[in-house]
C-alpha cells in the first residue's frame, strides 16, 4: 500500500477534505491520511510516497523531517529544498527574465544590524544609499514589504519619503524591498496545481480576508484569461512549485504579477468559497495520486523548476516565455 500524507497545522477544512477526496477515488493500493511523526532518524525512509506540506514554513522541525524524507524518495509537495531557498525578491528578478510583467522593485538592507554584526560587517555597502534615485525609480505610492515571508506581515503602503523612513525605522533587522504600487482596475488570485491546472479567481485584496474572493464573479475576457493562465504556468514551471498561487493586478490592460511565492496557499472553505474549494481539493487529490503512481523508492521524486535544472544540466536558463500547452 502506497500512502499519501498531509502535514498541516491549524487548518480545519482542506486537510480532511483532501484525505476524503483521495480515498473516495478508490485507487488500488493508494490511501491518504494525516502524517504521523515520531522518531526522525537520519536517512531513514518514512511511510509516505507523497506528502502534502502545509505547515513547515512555520515549524522548522517539520522542514528538517521533510528534507530527510525526500532523501529516500518521498515526493514532498512543495519541494522543501527549493522552498527553503526561495524568496520574493528573487521571484521578481526571475519574472523579469521570463518577460512576465512585475512592479518595479528594489532590495534594501535591514535598518538595524543583524545579531553578531556591526558597522564593519557592512563595509561593502555604500552609505548613504541613493535615496533620491531609489524614490524616483519606484515612485509613490509604494509598498514596503519583507523580501521573504508572507501573510501580509510587516507590509506598509507608503505615500511619501517621510512615511518611508518612519516605516524603515520600525522594521529592525528585517531585509525589506520597496515596490511600485500598481493602482489596479481588476485583481486576480490564481491557483496553480501540478504546474498545469490553473484556477483564475477574481479577488479584492482591499476587503477583509474572509471577503476577498469575489462570489458570483463576472466572466474574464478570453485574451486576458489566456495571458494570465500562460504567465501562471510559466512562473510555476520556472520555480518548480506543484501547489502555489499567483496574484495579478490589472493596470491599463496589463496583468502585473504581484505575489507568486505562496507554496502553502489559503485553501480554506470559508475564505475561498465552495466552488473554488471543491476545485482545489479535487485537483490536488488527483495530483497526489498521479505522483504516488509515479513514485519509486530511493530516487529523487521531488519537482525541480526550470531555473534549477538549467544549472544541473549546464544549459542556459530559458528566458523567453513559452505558450502553455
Q: Of 88, 97, 70, whose CA–CA distance to 295 is shortest?
A: 70
* Whole-angstrom distance, CA of residue 9 vs CA of residue 267: 13
CB contact at 8 A, 297 and 45: yes
* Whole-angstrom distance, CA of residue 306 vs CA of residue 308: 6
CB contact at 8 A, 204 and 191: no
Q: Which residues pair with 202 in a beta bridge?
A: 188
* Whole-angstrom distance, CA of residue 142 vs CA of residue 158: 5
Tens digit of pLDDT at every position of the chain (325 positions)? 999 999 999 999 999 999 999 999 999 999 999 999 999 999 999 999 999 999 999 999 999 999 999 999 999 999 999 999 999 999 999 999 999 999 999 999 999 999 999 999 999 999 899 999 999 999 999 999 999 877 678 999 999 999 999 999 999 999 999 999 999 999 999 999 999 999 999 999 989 888 999 988 999 999 999 999 999 999 999 999 999 999 999 999 999 999 999 999 999 999 999 999 999 999 999 999 999 999 999 999 999 999 998 877 777 777 765 444 3
**pLDDT at residue 320 in the model:** 60
What are the boundaries of each domain within the chain? 2-81+291-302, 104-180
Q: Which CATH class is domain 104-180?
A: alpha beta
**pLDDT at residue 321 in the model:** 54
Q: What torsion do the CA atoms of 260, 309, 317, 102 make, to the nearest 10 degrees?
A: 0
Model pTM?
0.93
The continuous run of DSSP H or E covering 91 comes out as helix 88-97
CB contact at 8 A, 225 and 200: yes
CA atoms within 13 A on the CB side of 205: 18
CA atoms within 13 A on the CB side of 290: 10
* Whole-angstrom distance, CA of residue 47 vs CA of residue 38: 12
* Whole-angstrom distance, CA of residue 76 vs CA of residue 81: 10
Kindly write down the DSSP assignment for every residue of 195-229, as one continuous string.
Answer: TTEEEEEEB-TTS-GGG-BPSSPPPPPHHHHHHHH
Provide the CATH topology of domain 2-81+291-302.
Rossmann fold (3.40.50)
* Whole-angstrom distance, CA of residue 239 vs CA of residue 227: 18
**pLDDT at residue 324 in the model:** 41
Question: Strands across the sheet with 243-251, in order?
Answer: 197-202, 186-193, 243-251, 254-259
Task: Provide φ and ψ at 189, rounded to 5°.
Answer: -120, 130
Q: Of 209, 212, 92, 103, whose CA–CA distance to 157 is shortest?
A: 103
Q: Which residues pair with 33 in a beta bridge?
A: 5
**What count of other Cβ atoms lies within 10 Å of the Cβ of residue 173?**
12
* Whole-angstrom distance, CA of residue 325 vs CA of residue 203: 26
Amino acid at each position: 500500500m502506497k500512502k499519501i500524507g498531509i502535514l498541516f497545522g491549524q487548518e480545519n477544512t482542506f486537510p480532511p477534505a483532501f484525505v476524503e477526496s483521495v480515498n473516495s477515488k478508490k485507487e488500488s493500493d493508494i490511501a491518504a491520511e494525516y502524517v504521523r511523526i515520531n522518531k526522525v532518524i537520519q536517512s531513514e525512509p518514512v511511510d509516505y510516497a507523497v506528502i502534502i506540506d502545509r505547515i513547515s514554513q512555520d515549524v522548522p522541525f517539520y522542514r528538517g523531517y521533510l528534507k530527510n524524507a525526500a532523501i529516500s524518495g518521498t515526493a514532498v509537495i512543495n519541494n522543501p529544498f527549493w522552498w527553503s531557498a526561495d524568496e520574493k525578491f528573487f521571484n521578481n528578478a526571475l519574472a523579469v527574465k521570463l518577460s512576465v510583467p512585475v512592479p518595479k522593485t528594489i532590495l534594501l538592507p535591514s535598518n538595524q544590524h543583524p545579531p553578531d554584526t556591526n558597522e564593519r560587517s557592512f563595509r561593502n555597502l555604500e552609505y548613504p544609499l541613493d535615496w533620491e534615485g531609489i524614490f524616483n525609480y519606484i515612485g509613490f505610492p509604494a509598498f514596503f514589504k519583507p523580501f521573504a515571508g508572507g501573510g501580509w506581515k510587516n507590509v506598509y503602503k507608503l505615500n511619501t519619503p517621510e512615511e518611508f523612513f518612519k516605516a524603515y525605522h520600525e522594521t529592525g533587522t528585517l531585509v525589506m524591498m520597496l515596490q511600485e504600487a500598481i493602482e489596479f482596475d481588476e485583481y486576480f488570485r490564481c491557483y496553480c496545481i501540478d504546474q498545469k491546472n490553473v484556477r483564475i479567481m477574481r479577488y479584492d485584496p482591499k476587503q477583509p480576508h474572509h471577503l476577498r474572493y469575489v462570489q458570483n464573479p463576472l466572466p474574464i475576457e478570453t485574451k486576458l484569461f489566456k495571458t494570465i493562465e500562460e504567465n501562471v504556468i510559466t512562473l510555476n514551471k520556472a520555480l518548480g512549485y506543484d501547489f502555489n498561487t499567483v496574484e495579478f493586478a490589472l493596470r491599463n490592460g496589463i496583468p502585473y504579477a504581484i505575489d507568486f511565492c505562496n507554496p502553502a496557499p489559503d485553501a480554506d472553505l470559508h475564505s475561498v468559497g465552495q466552488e473554488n474549494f471543491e476545485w482545489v481539493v479535487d485537483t490536488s487529490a488527483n495530483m497526489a495520486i498521479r505522483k504516488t503512481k509515479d513514485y519509486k523508492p530511493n530516487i529523487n521524486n521531488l519537482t525541480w523548476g526550470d531555473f534549477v535544472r538549467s544549472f544541473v544540466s549546464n544549459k542556459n536558463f530559458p528566458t523567453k516565455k513559452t505558450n502553455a500547452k
